Amino acid sequence: MDWLTMERWSPYAAGIGIGILSWLAFLLSDKPIGCSTAFARTSGMIERLFAGARVNEKPYYKLFRPEIDWEWMLVVGVIVGAFISAQLAGTFHPRWVPDHWAEAFGSAPPVRLIVALLGGILMGFGARWANGCTSGHGISGSLQLAVSGWIAAACFFLAGIATAMLIYRGFGS
């Protein structure tokens, strides 16, 4: 059972596995795999804690009701599955700043955390604007040969590459 405790698998093995998962999602659940809708629903649930039931009346939350559904459980599963994988390999360890970031911008946590928060806000806003993320559009959209999926994936990577290059070449040491 060495493969369970390995730190990394070949990207092709991981990719084949994810491809097969997409079959299972269509077969067992009649749904494509996606992740970002779960964030929108969670955001609505948190907002409802403070603002009450009128949150349900917002046009967006009528479309994506703030409740636990299949995809929400899928994202919970991602956390559980990644935790099991990291534990089996012994690679779980709390860390504030990734190595690559520390090399270029230093290891001070506040800088990285502020940037991560801002990046997350843009990502959450953009994911809901585009109606999908790297899984929903990039993988599930592309494999259904959806025009929206291919265009979105191209835009994700175009802007992602330009932004990362700008940050690392412009500000990195």
Beta carbon of residue 102, minimum distance to another protein (angstroms, whole number)? 10
Largest alpha-carbon pair distance within the chain? 52
Q: Residues near 19 by Cβ (< 8 Å), separated by ≥ 6?
A: 143
- Single residue of 100, 106, 107, 108 touching another protein by CB under 8 A: 100
d(CA 18, CA 36): 17
Q: Is 91 or 106 the residue whose CB approaches another protein more closely?
A: 91
- Single residue of 2, 11, 52, 173 touching another protein by CB under 8 A: 11
CB 130 within 8 A of CB 137: yes
- Single residue of 53, 147, 170, 171 touching another protein by CB under 8 A: 147
CB 33 within 8 A of CB 135: yes
Q: Is 24 or 106 the residue whose CB approaches another protein more closely?
A: 24
Instruction: Reduce the DSSP state of residue 157 to 3 states and report it.
Output: helix
Alpha-carbon Rg for the chain, nearest whole angstrom, is 18
> Is residue 106 within the footprint of another protein (CB under 8 A)?
no
- Single residue of 54, 65, 108, 162 touching another protein by CB under 8 A: 162
- Single residue of 15, 54, 65, 106 touching another protein by CB under 8 A: 15
**Residues between 38 and 57 that touch another protein (CB under 8 A):** 38-40, 42-44, 46-47
- Single residue of 54, 56, 163, 171 touching another protein by CB under 8 A: 163
Instruction: Reduce the DSSP state of residue 116 to 3 states and report it.
Output: helix
CB 46 within 8 A of CB 149: no
> Is residue 77 within the footprint of another protein (CB under 8 A)?
yes
Q: Residues near 107 by Cβ (< 8 Å), separated by ≥ 6?
A: 96, 97
Q: Is 106 or 163 the residue whose CB approaches another protein more closely?
A: 163
- Single residue of 54, 65, 98, 106 touching another protein by CB under 8 A: 98
Q: Is 1 or 27 the residue whose CB approaches another protein more closely?
A: 27
